[in-house]
Amino acid sequence: MKPSPFDYHRPATLDEALGLLQAHEDARLLAGGQSLIPAMNFRLAAPEVLIDLGDIAALRDITVDQAGNLKIGAMASHADCQRSQTIQEGWPLIAEALAYVAHAQVRHRGTIGGSLAHADPAAEWPALCVALDATLTVTGPAGTRNIAAVDFFQGVYATSLEAHDILTAITFPAWPSGRRWGFHEVSRRQGDFALAGAAVVIDTHDGQICSHAKAVLFGVADTPVALPALTRRLERAELPPAGFGPDHEAAEESEHTFFQRCDDLAWFARTAVEPRSDLHADAAYRQDLIQAVVALALRQAAGASATKLTRSAQAPRSEGPVPADKIMVNGRLMESVGQRANAHATPESQRNAPANPSKTLSRITLADHARDNWRLTGTHIGCEHGVCGACTVLIDGESARACLMFARQAEGRAVTTIEGLTPANGELSDLQQQFVAHHALQCGFCTPGMIVSAEALLRENPSPTADEVREALSGNICRCTGYVSIIEAVLATARLRQGETT
Ligand code: FES
Ligand code: FES
């Protein structure tokens, strides 16, 4: 299946985007596109007009105001937030939760605003916003208004956004000193949507006595679920001393006090919600998961477990400015899709042109465009809805799924395909050589996507651990199941690049 034709617009300002939204009856906003484009590929969504917010730079800012509140522009990507030193140091619960959001390719393209507006019950951002009392800023025909996160989510994929509204920013209140926090979720595989998850914050008077707490579940009902009855039970509870951990001298004593209470509270949580059943998990299983994730999040808040992942703050290499009407493909400037549409509009080209060339060409995904028009057939197409990673390319140096991007979105950007990672003289790159040396490919279908994803990882993190390689490749499926060899090949390349000679 391919998306239906649509008119594509990429406004440079918020006012322009608002004008377009009001001018077109059947228009949809394109934020990161990581949920909308699969829906369009399946023709579950078929908007007449797509308004891409990707060029509105002001919507990507991450700032802290004078009162210490964190303001994240709605078009900040998950990866922007994950790399943000401000968030890592000041709002650690957000940094922790982002390690659970999908796969690297999706985190590079997906945005906080897109995730919140999509309102998937199993997504992390909605739960974080409710747990941290965030305020969502929305601009529409009647002006700008603020909506408390708890009022924003109305149901499955349903929010309080009106037809012509644009979500522009999300504000998280200042992080109080002495706050403890925990986050845990369970999904079928790394990066999948949560079957159940919990976010917990515990504020303290003196670092140890709970003054206020909040616990929010997600993935278990239509919207994030706050657990006020549970958190009331936490008030005045004494937590273990700050810095407590499995090796702390107070570990044994604390096992008999707060940790015992965590287990009781988690048992209470499982009775507080009637979870839904779906094809991924039935209600009874979800009830068990609720108990588990609440217990683990509470224990983490008390200091008993390490954080899930730490990540490099280093930004990826960007390929530099590209003219807005061109696409830089493996270092060469190529004509854009818009230019092709204009060419079709000339009288000489009319005979074989589609009825509405601009509309018809807009629907071409980057993966199809790379294969059919640039003849770069190393970009493989497996699932066409963002699951297999076979189509992975680099966009301005960041990995992305080419089936979850329209070619028009690449205008003004640099695209690197597997062909661009191969030395010009036809030899194999060091990473490719290691794939051969470690027998890291069998049928080879997944290999280009694996290598592009691995190259993106090595550029961002030159000496990854095996766990970091596994996480970075979790969005790439190998049907021949050659994962062990693939991880070996990536680690060997990293060692060689670090100067190891054998
Ligand atoms: Fe793009 Fe599977 S993720 S083809
Ligand atoms: Fe066959 Fe991975 S080598 S799919």
Q: What is the pLDDT of residue 492?
A: 98
Residue 327 is inside which H or E element, if any? strand 326-329
Measured from the CA of 383, which atom of ligand 1 is nearest?
Answer: 2
Q: How far apart are CA 349 and CA 93, in angstroms?
A: 56
The amino acid that residue 225 corresponds to is V
Q: Which of 140-149, 156-165, 306-315, 329-338 has the lowest mean pLDDT?
A: 306-315
Number of H helices and number of E strands within the chain?
Answer: 20, 19
Is the pLDDT score of 307 beyond 60?
no
pLDDT for the residue 398: 95
Strand partners, 238: 209
| Residue 321 pLDDT class (50, 70, 90 cuts) | confident
pLDDT tens across 359-369, in order? 778 999 999 99
d(CA 14, CA 75): 11
Stated pTM of the model:
0.91
- CA-nearest residue, atom 1 of ligand 2: 443
> CA-based diameter of the chain, in Å?
84
Q: Which of 439, 479, 483, 486 best tests ligand 2's pocket when mutated (most atoms within 8 Å of CB)?
A: 479
Q: Is the pLDDT of residue 178 over 50?
A: yes
What number is the average pLDDT over the span 109-137? Answer: 97
Choose among 89, 84, 96, 99: nearest CA to 467: 99
Residue 62, phi then psi, degrees to nearest 5: -125, 110
Mean pLDDT calculated for residue range 395-414: 96
In 58-76, which positions are buried (b, 16+ CB within 10 angstroms) versus exposed (e)?
ebbebeeeeeeebbbbbbb
For the segment 435-449, the average pLDDT, to the nearest whole number, is: 97
State the chain's mean pLDDT as an integer.
90
Predicted local distance difference test score (pLDDT) of residue 256:
53
Q: Residues near ligand 1 with C-beta < 6 Å?
A: 381-384, 386-391, 401, 403
Pick the ligand that lies closest to the CA of residue 106.
1
Q: What is the mean pLDDT of residues 93-113?
A: 96
134: which 2 tokens?
């965030």
pLDDT average, residue stretch 107-136: 97
| Residue 213 predicted with pLDDT over 50 | yes
With bands split at pLDDT 50, 70 and 90, how would you rate the model's confidence at 394? very high
Using the mean position of ligand 2's atoms as its centre, give its distance from the Cα of residue 477 in Å.
8
Q: Which ligand is nearest to the CA of 446?
A: 2
Using only C-alpha atoms, the chain has a radius of gyration, in whole angstroms, of: 24
Residue 249 pLDDT class (50, 70, 90 cuts):
low
441 CB near ligand 2 (under 6 Å): yes
3-state secondary structure of 234: helix
Is the pLDDT assigned to residue 8 strictly greater than 70? yes
Question: What are φ and ψ of residue 260, in 5° steps?
Answer: -60, -40
Which of 387, 391, 439, 441 best tests ligand 2's pocket when mutated (most atoms within 8 Å of CB)?
441
- Residue spans of beta strands (DSSP E) within 31-176: 49-52, 62-64, 70-73, 135-140, 143-148, 153-155, 158-159, 166-172
Q: With H, G, I as helix, E, B as strand and everything else as coil, classify residue 49.
A: strand
On whether the CB atoms of residues 5 and 363 are closer than 8 A, the answer is yes
Which atom of ligand 2 approaches the CA of 443 most closely? 1
- Residue 351 structure tokens: 């005979």
Instruction: Give the residue, 298 or 305, on which the prediction is more confident.
Output: 298
% of the chain exceeding 70 in pLDDT: 89
Is the pLDDT higher at 381 or at 340? 381
**Above pLDDT 90, what percent of the chain?**
75
- Residue 216 reports pLDDT greater than 70: yes
Q: Nearest to residue 183, comparing CAs of 198, 202, 201?
A: 198
Q: Which residue did the predictor score with more confidence, 9 or 255?
A: 9
What is the dihedral angle through the alpha carbons of 337, 338, 339, 340, rounded to the nearest 10 degrees? Answer: 50
* Residue 313 banded pLDDT, cuts 50, 70, 90: very low
What's the one-letter identity of residue 8?
Answer: Y
Question: For position 310, what pLDDT does the model report?
Answer: 47
Locus of tokens 């992305």: 400
Query: Ligand 1 mean position to 450 CA, how many Å?
Result: 12
pLDDT in tens, 24-45: 999 999 999 999 999 999 999 9
Instruction: Using pLDDT thresholds of 50, 70 and 90, give the confidence band for residue 254.
Output: low
Atom of ligand 1 nearest to the CA of 386: 3
Residue of 347 and 391 predicted with greater confidence: 391
Predicted pLDDT of residue 257: 77
Q: Ligand 1 mean position to 99 CA, how many Å?
A: 21
Does 7 or 316 have the greater pLDDT score? 7
Closest CA to 281 of 194, 363, 397: 194
pLDDT for 2:
87
Section 86-103 average pLDDT = 95
